[in-house]
Structure 1
């Protein structure tokens, strides 16, 4: 077992936030009618993807009847349907769907994680829950640092959680901290002194990309289209040295 596998195992046993523990376990007991015959995961959902990933995708938190049911990030819900189709389209996933932990899906040079690992009520973790979960993201970033070269953050909540985690994990985050926006690209820890300019960079450089979250609200209304998502993922993959 490598260090990231060990981290994932420890994440899945966390019980630090009473409200989240109660909620995820209640959902796992009561279930949704469509999944009444399934055994829910009902625990914190660890990251998914290879330990030498060059591209990191950071979401918000698992869905109550998605990751909280399947045990894998963005698996078994409509947000995941959109994300994995886009990853497949740009050559970063072995298949366009993600329905279960054992469905054979592989990610190519990509790892998916979140700043909050438990499904929260109404999809809204509290600031305190986000802070309680941040050490897991910090440890994950430290373990990925030798290989990761780009990160796509889905949504403003994830962006706000990722910047301090990056700073704590050893990257030089620009000050003032950059604002979230779809298509925003920020260079961090560059050879030019880490001032946040685009392009170029040293061996530990990281390109950080903002992207609207793949929530049903955003995808159903057209705020985030498949083409917009593919464009961000393609650009990030190129920055990380991946893709077609």
Structure 2
């Protein structure tokens, strides 16, 4: 009986590992908009791609429904998330609320060593001539590091979820040389605010994050054009 129980436990763990692996792969596809907005997600194709049955694919997609990367329509299946300029603007607003709260707590809780490491890591990762992909990763890491200084896992988890939803658009935004230059200046001001525990740093951070309606339209249009152009070539 012990052997049978051990075998069953091992089988269950392997099945869970398969679901987790498929989930991560499909989520990466959703984050990078390799599914067109509104496109029906083909479970059979995904199962063939990952060499698994449809069961772990369905389980992975169900998790992504709760995370709002895909939607489910009864009797029709799973569909890639839609996106509009207003969606992008509102997600950036939500991100600002999370990060400003995290910044205020970090002012109380961050150590001088953590702040020095934040500045050093940002400068090392965002050197001159970096691609927008690298800049996007460096920028995301910078903001996550501040959130982690708040020592509140709910803040870091919420920001991690928001970052995934915005990653595609963040990288497009940072292709703009003026935006990139502003990012350096504003990050320096945020670091100074942390060092001095200055509440004014929170407002600098908020303005740094929040998109105007006009800019949200511009970035979303560019993003959608790329999504449909890239998928049309496959």
Please give the TM-score of this superposition, normalised by the length of structure 1: 0.24
Q: Which has the higher strand share?
A: 1
Larger Rg: 2
Q: Give the structure-2-normalised TM-score.
A: 0.25
Q: Which has the higher contact order (CA 8 A, sep 6+)?
A: 2
Decide which structure has greater helix share.
2
